[in-house]
Structure 1
Amino acid sequence: MENNSRRNFIKKLSVASLAGASIPALSFAMEGKAKGNKPLMVSTWNHGMGANEAGWEILKNGGSALDAVEAGVRVPEGDPMERSVGFGGLPDREGRVTLDACIMDHESQCGAVAFLQDIKHPISVARLVMEKTPHVMLVGKGAKQFALSQGFKEENLLTEQSRKDWEEWKKKSKYQPVINIENHDTIGSLAIDSKGNLAGACTTSGAAYKLHGRVGDSPIIGAGLFVDGEVGAACATGLGEAVIRTAGSAIVVELMRQGLSPKDACEEAVKRIIHKHKDLTNLQVGFLALNKDGVYGGYSVYAGFNWAVVDNKGGNRMEDAEYKKEW
């Protein structure tokens, strides 16, 4: 008995060391597995409500998580009033709307497009990259050429309101994103279906008035999104460069593999971003995670990050992330 207890203590201590986390952060692992709900879907920000509504129609009828997240994020992609995603998104400094997206399933199949122009639903193009090509990512003219070959229509994505805002911005041409406004330029959706399969999707029009050609974390597997069917899924929102530098979503999933809860894994990933950056002025990043047991959680650098969650028990509702309160 004594030897077994010692071995168990050493095992738990090793997990804490690998994760770079404190012992209190591992309380979830030590107390046993929490049980969540299946099916369930979580999506970042207020536009996650509409995404969840569309995705839930699929999940509640026994459909797949992959179909749910794609259908879900297509809603803000096609809404001209959503200024940070798809059609109607704010353009780069040259007045061009450029789109990034990726999608991933529980078997680690994934597809992505970056710097895509004139195509309304990049998430669906990304899925076809996954399913119909031997590649993971297509970019720029090549991504557009592929989309057109698959039957997508070329159309102008710059709405009149976004064009007016861009014209006004050009008077000063000052690039200064404001946290929770101009840099929550992403919708990330994660879902688990009734079979227990996970999937995730991420799509954006990127930071407003960015340099032409800039690509953030949203289409990058392991940064803006990562899914491991044996562990869980995670997505990121906020300043993409900070997420890329830390391989944010992949780190969250690996921390869950080592025993952390989704919330604690997101908190540890945020702490790494804080540690890596000397200046955190207007640097907002939020992570959202969902594990294979249907437990979800999130965390952010500053207050203001929230997400929508839908399941059989509570319906579709908004929840606020915990955040770093002391500096």
Structure 2
Amino acid sequence: MISKRKFLKYSFLGTATALAAPPVTAMARHHTKRGNKPIVVSTWNHGGPANEAAWQVLAEGGRALDAVEAGARVPEADPQVTSVGYGGLPDRDGVVTLDACIMDEKQNCGSVAFLQGIKHPISVARKVMEETPHVMLVGEGAQRFAVEQGFEIENLLTPKAEAAWREWKRESHYQPVINIENHDTIGILALDQDGNLSGACTTSGAAFKMHGRVGDSPIIGAGLYVDNEVGAATATGMGELMIKTVGCHQVVELMRHGYTPEEACREAVERIARKLGDYKKFQVGFLALDKAGNYGAHCIHPGFNYAVRDSKGTQMTDSKSKLG
């Protein structure tokens, strides 16, 4: 006969195991994944051109890390994209400051924040990853490192961005605008022919922010996270909300427990909504790609879209939203 002590012990272990295990329906999904590779997905309309640059790398059997860097460099160099790199809207002092991070299949990662005068922060972030013992460099130190690595200091404030800043200065009222011009951070995720994942995220941050503000984009786990066993996720929108919830790490961990990419993104949005009472004032969007090439997204407000590129071609998709 089993003792009362052993009975309680085994009952506790059984309950703990049941709570830790993913639902049966979630586990079953692992047998229906489609295995689509190579593939690249990225946020917003400017993700289309970014994906094409990334696809050139992937189609030739290249590494996902090289693909996401090549893709991210496209909007960084486009003066018409007012939320990334050259052409990005400045802070309230009229200074363009850039944030970026990159992460590979081995969980190596690099990041720069509050970087000024360097057109391609994503490439500087990769140099931080590969050439230093650190993960993140910021401000003057990041710029100095970039110059040492051969990057040139340039004026990133375009006439268009400067005009917008001067117009804003008339009232100097900071208020985040949801889906402004359909432009925001670009996050890009890729799965290469070898089945390896990588991701990149780059932005000029919130327009007219306080000088020195850094959002989620350069923070591993908040704006980007990659786990080659499971999948990858990136985020867009009000960065403070992603930082508070470590949103992208959360999305990947949900996929680890059997959620599809779309379900994981939706649950991350729901958690923000439950925990942060003023969530309706802001936009948050997550985009995820799993190890088998399945992808999905979810956001708070309608208006967030993402680009997909695989062997079948290119498509733009509107994300499902909590507030439809």
State TM-score, norm by structure 1: 0.91
RMSD over equivalenced CA pairs, Å = 1.9
Instruction: Give, in angstroms, the shift of residue 183 of structure 1.
Output: 8.9
Give the structure 2 partner of residue 267 of structure 1. 266
Paired letter, 1:226: Y
- Following TM superposition, the consecutive aligned residue runs of length 4 or more in structure 1 with deviations greater than 2 angstroms are 8-16, 26-33, 182-185
Mapped partners of 1:101, 1:34: distance in 2? 31
Of the three residues 317, 320, 324, the one matched with 1:319 is 317
Mapped partners of 1:88, 1:9: distance in 2? 55
1:113 matches 2:119: no
1:15 matches 2:13: no
Paired letter, 1:323: S
Return 5+ residue gaps in structure 2 as ranges. Answer: 1-13
Matches within 5 A, 1:240-279: 240-279=239-278
Give the structure 1 partner of residue 51 of structure 2. 52
Secondary structure at 1:310 match in 2: strand
Tell whether the 8 Å contact from 1:82 to 1:88 is kept in structure 2 after alignment. Answer: yes
Secondary structure at 1:230 match in 2: coil
Instruction: Give, in angstroms, the shift of residue 10 of structure 1.
Output: 9.2
Secondary structure at 2:281 match in 1: coil
Instruction: Give, in angstroms, the shift of residue 243 of structure 1.
Output: 0.3
Mapped partners of 2:47, 2:63: distance in 1? 18
Mapped partners of 1:224, 1:166: distance in 2? 26
Of the structure 1 ranges 32-41 and 175-184, higher mean CA displacement relative to structure 2 is found in 175-184
Secondary structure at 1:268 match in 2: helix
Instruction: Give, in angstroms, the shift of residue 277 of structure 1.
Output: 1.2
Mapped partners of 1:293, 1:78: distance in 2? 31
Render the CA deviation track for 1:251-282: whole Å, top value 9, x for unaligned. 00001111111111101100011111111243
Instruction: Give, in angstroms, the shift of residue 30 of structure 1.
Output: 2.6
Tell whether the 8 Å contact from 2:45 to 2:183 is kept in structure 1 after alignment. Answer: no
Render the CA deviation track for 1:186-239: whole Å, top value 9, x for unaligned. 000000000000000000000000000000000000000000011110000000
Give the structure 1 partner of residue 72 of structure 2. 73
Matches within 5 A, 1:21-40: 27-31=25-29, 32-40=31-39
Tell whether the 8 Å contact from 2:45 to 2:182 is kept in structure 1 after alignment. Answer: no
Distance verdict in 2 for CA 1:301–1:319, change over 3 Å: same
Tell whether the 8 Å contact from 1:182 to 1:208 is kept in structure 2 after alignment. Answer: no
Mapped partners of 2:244, 2:182: distance in 1? 16
Give the structure 2 partner of residue 297 of structure 1. 296
Matches within 5 A, 1:86-165: 86-165=85-164
Distance verdict in 2 for CA 1:306–1:36, change over 3 Å: farther
Instruction: Give, in angstroms, the shift of residue 27 of structure 1.
Output: 3.7
Paired letter, 2:119: K
Paired letter, 1:29: M
Matches within 5 A, 1:186-201: 186-201=185-200
State TM-score, norm by structure 2: 0.92
Paired letter, 1:153: E
Mapped partners of 1:319, 1:195: distance in 2? 26
Secondary structure at 1:112 match in 2: strand
Mapped partners of 1:231, 1:95: distance in 2? 41
Paired letter, 1:115: F
Matched length: 311
Mapped partners of 1:182, 1:220: distance in 2? 25
Instruction: Give, in angstroms, the shift of residue 185 of structure 1.
Output: 2.6
Mapped partners of 1:298, 1:252: distance in 2? 10
Give the structure 1 partner of residue 282 of structure 2. 283
Mapped partners of 2:181, 2:25: distance in 1? 36
Return 5+ residue gaps in structure 1 as ranges. Answer: 1-7, 17-22
Tell whether the 8 Å contact from 1:184 to 1:237 is kept in structure 2 after alignment. Answer: no
Mapped partners of 2:84, 2:295: distance in 1? 24
Instruction: Give, in angstroms, the shift of residue 13 of structure 1.
Output: 5.7
Tell whether the 8 Å contact from 1:15 to 1:259 is kept in structure 2 after alignment. Answer: no
Distance verdict in 2 for CA 1:290–1:304, change over 3 Å: same
Tell whether the 8 Å contact from 2:44 to 2:184 is kept in structure 1 after alignment. Answer: no
Tell whether the 8 Å contact from 1:222 to 1:248 is kept in structure 2 after alignment. Answer: yes
Larger Rg over CA atoms: 2
Instruction: Give, in angstroms, the shift of residue 56 of structure 1.
Output: 0.3
Mapped partners of 2:266, 2:32: distance in 1? 18
